[in-house]
Amino acid sequence: MSIELLHHHAALALAYVASVAAAGLGVAACDRPAKETSTSAAAEIESEPKRKVPLLVPGDETIPAGHAGELVRQGRLYATRTSEELPQLVGSDLHCTSCHLEAGTRGNAGPWVGLSSAYPMYRARAGREITLEERIDECFERSVNGKAPGKGSPVTRAFVAYIEWLSRDVPRGSEVLGRGFPRVERPPIVDPDNGRNVYAARCASCHGANGEGRRQADGSYQFPPLWGDRTFNIGAGMARLDTAAAFVRHDMPLGRPEPLTATDAYDVAAYFTEQPRPDYLPKSGDWPRGGKPPDARY
């Protein structure tokens, strides 16, 4: 990673400190532990305000030699070429890094830096504390509409090795700035009809008139699909309005010549999240102990 990019990250991080301070929010992750979990000791530790540290990405020269380093590189390859490398586990044309941008290193785009010390953590959607391995399984089942590789599998071990390497400089008990997809304020009225127009003007050139995405001439990955059979399913975090709006506001259109206003981000998120996409049958088991967020789709 270039120094310039690091500076860019640092600038984003500072901007984010300011926004966190302004909003009075402590945690940036999407599904924050629900209040009723404070009976669990681990949840209590989770709910303590964590020291915020800048998001810094280790240089490749710090990848260990030998088998340990091979596993880190394997994890990064799986993350950045998920549908091609793991077709048996993936039921979409997505990569993990279609959403966890820049190989899981970009702030405000679900960065993986620092996650090793954030897990295990309580998740209201699961109704219990889950491990990092389980969190990876969840994104396999929902976000790439596939199958869980499972704890101990070579695939999971590679992802964990990569995430641990990315997290090597983040002290335990702290949290990186720009974790998750920090929420933006929801406008009083959300209008999917305006969202359709925003989509046509600002998104369709890359993601296609029907959300189908676009491939390069040789058939390889270029712009991922937003709806239809080959994208994230209804159980994914990205199918939720607040999460999708946050992602769009912070990260799209990619390259960001001109970011969308919060209102346009919400309107376009309302439009594309409601389009047809694969179902997720086990969804009826979600939020077993309450804490369902208001923007849940089911």
Q: Which is nearer to ligand HEC, 65 or 143 (CB)?
A: 143
Question: Of residues 54-73, which lie at the interface with ligand HEC (CB under 6 A)?
Answer: none
At 193, list the tokens. Answer: 């009809």
Question: In the bound complex, what is the minimum distance in angstroms from residue 281's beta carbon to ligand HEC?
Answer: 18
Question: Of residues 269-298, which lie at the interface with ligand HEC (CB under 6 A)?
Answer: 272
Taking CB under 6 A as the rule, does residue 95 contact ligand HEC? yes
Long-range contact pairs involving 169-173 (C-beta distance under 8 Å, separation at least 24)? 169/56, 169/58, 170/53, 170/113, 170/114, 170/116, 170/117, 171/51, 171/53, 171/117, 172/117, 173/50, 173/51, 173/117
Taking CB under 6 A as the rule, does residue 246 contact ligand HEC? no
Question: In the bound complex, what is the minimum distance in angstroms from residue 251's beta carbon to ligand HEC?
Answer: 7
Taking CB under 6 A as the rule, does residue 248 contact ligand HEC? yes
Residue with token string 């699909």: 225
Q: Is the peptide bond before 120 cis (omega within 30 degrees of 0)?
A: yes
For ligand HEC, how many residues bind (rule: CB under 6 A)? Answer: 49
Taking CB under 6 A as the rule, does residue 206 contact ligand HEC? yes
Question: Of residues 136-155, which lie at the interface with ligand HEC (CB under 6 A)?
Answer: 136, 139-140, 143-144
The CA distances from residue 172 to 159, 206, 212, in Å, are 19, 40, 41
Taking CB under 6 A as the rule, does residue 223 contact ligand HEC? yes
| 130: β partners | 121
Stretch that binds ligand HEC, among 6-14, 50-58, 246-254, 275-283 (CB under 6 A): 246-254
Say which amino acid occupies 278: P
Do the Cβ atoms of 246 and 181 come closer than 8 Å? yes
Q: Which is nearer to ligand HEC, 122 or 232 (CB)?
A: 232
Taking alpha carbons only, the member of 156, 65, 59 closest to residue 105 is: 59
Q: Which is nearer to ligand HEC, 63 or 92 (CB)?
A: 92
Taking alpha carbons only, the member of 213, 189, 211, 191 closest to residue 200 is: 211
Q: List interacting residues with ligand HEC (CB under 6 A).
A: 29-31, 82, 94-101, 110, 115, 118, 135-136, 139-140, 143-144, 159, 179-181, 202-203, 205-207, 223-226, 231-232, 236-238, 243, 247-248, 252-255, 260, 268, 272
